[in-house]
Amino acid sequence: MTPIDRSNYPGIPEDFPIEPQTVALTGAQPKLSLVQHGEDYYATGTSPQEVQEDYEEMVDLANQVMVFVRKNAFTTQEALDAFLQREAMVMQMNYGIRAIHTEWVMKRVRLLLREAGHPASMDSDGPSSKEAR
């Protein structure tokens, strides 16, 4: 698979995952699922418009999770990690968010909490602080 040219995605951070979606198309003949954007063709899920929409949705989701964490008593890193793991599973199972995006959302939540000085994000011994480095 060829690397994705990030210049086609202005405003999307380098760490945001861009990955084609698996698509099932009916019929006996082999098919290729593509999306046209301007004069270019992209694998489904990788057009600039689709990536921009995904990015905006994931940023919004990360902000919602962060607000929830800040309102609740997640004072230890263990409690925060347990909640974020459960939340990631719920996002994937109940809402169909791809695993690669839920992973990015959780990293973003941890980064936002650390920037906000949340006590559970400041513990230096757990996986949250190691992931953020």
Where are the chain's structural domains? Answer: 6-132
Query: 42 to each of 38, 52, 79, how far by Cα in Å?
Result: 10, 14, 41
Both tokens assigned to 63: 């902000």
pLDDT digit string, tens, across residues 85-120:
999 999 999 999 999 999 999 999 999 999 988 888
Specify the pTM.
0.81
Strand duo 40-43 + 34-37: pairing: antiparallel
